[in-house]
Structure formats: C-alpha cells, structure tokens
Amino acid sequence: MTSELLMVLNKVHSELLARQQTVSVAESCTGGLVGSALTEQPGSSGYFLGGIQAYANAIKTDLLGVSHETLLSFGAVSEEVASEMAQSIRRLSGSDWAISTTGIAGPDGGSEEKPVGTVWISVADSEGVFSQKLTLDGDRSAIRHGTVLAALTLLLEHLLDEETDL
C-alpha cells in the first residue's frame, strides 16, 4: 500500500467514524480492491457494510439492477453504468455512501474509443452521484491500484465538502 493511499484511507476512516456514517462498494475492474482497502484498518466494521464484485454484466443487471438499456447504449465502461452501480449498492445496503468502479484494466479489452486504462468511478450519497473519468497508464496492476486511490480520494473530497456545508 502506498503512503498516498494510506493517508487517504486514514482520513476516510476518521471521517466516517466521526460522522457515524457507512459506505458500501460495487466494483468491476477493481475486483474487490476498494473494499479490501477500506477494511485494512481495525475499526472498519464501524463504517464498511460490504459490496458486490460485479465483473460480469449479468451481475450488474441481475444483482445491482443496472439497466440493460444503459449497458447497450453506453457500454459497461461508462459514467452511466458507474452511476447506476453506485446508486444501486447504496440503496441495497442502506449505506450513507457508495463507491463504484468500472473500467478496462487490460492488457486486453480496450478499443480506440475506450482504450486500456479508461475507468469510471462514482460516489453516491443522499444528495446524488458524483462521477469521474480516469485515463490511467501502466500495467493491469497499476490501473487497478490507481483506480482504488482515485475512488477513495473522490469519496474523501465529498466527505470533506459535506463537512464545510454543515
């Protein structure tokens, strides 16, 4: 675990515990790495509810309720799918916050329109969904770990934004 990821995790950990808020995850390209990172610290059971590794489109639709039309229109690696994944896992788990990831970690699977390293992440709360497109370089491991850092950073940014709005 990098020092940057550890710093972000420590802040997420502190913020969620202090607020007594919870988080859940719906992961595709990261295959459980976000949930694993969130549970790295003792006390994470105070905020982490769980998640779904929705690698296959059938899991995205059957368990998470992602629309078939959304998948057909935009593809699995899209803002729309990431958004639906985050909203769905938040609703299913009853968490305050949700994170989703969907992307192309490679080395295969990319296209001209969506090359390897194209990733969408979303964070959902009661106010809505916040999504971000990533274009990451490196091998499969670097793309997956970069996605984890970006997703947890996006969550932290919104946790801290909410704090200033209070």
pLDDT per residue over 13-42, tens digit each?
Answer: 999 999 999 999 999 999 999 999 999 999
Residues 6+ apart with CB under 8 A from 47: 13, 16, 17, 21, 22, 23, 38
Q: Can you give the CATH number for the domain in which 59 is found? A: 3.90.950.20
For 105, the token pair is 């970690």
Stretch 92-115: mean pLDDT, rounded?
97
Cα 125 to Cα 18: distance, rounded to the nearest angstrom: 17
pLDDT of 162 strictly over 90:
no
For residues 30 and 145, give the distance between their C-alpha atoms in angstroms, rounded to a whole number. 8
Domain span at 101: 3-165
Contact by Cβ (8 Å): 96, 50: no
> Per the structure, how many domains does the chain have?
1
- Whole-number pLDDT of residue 165: 58
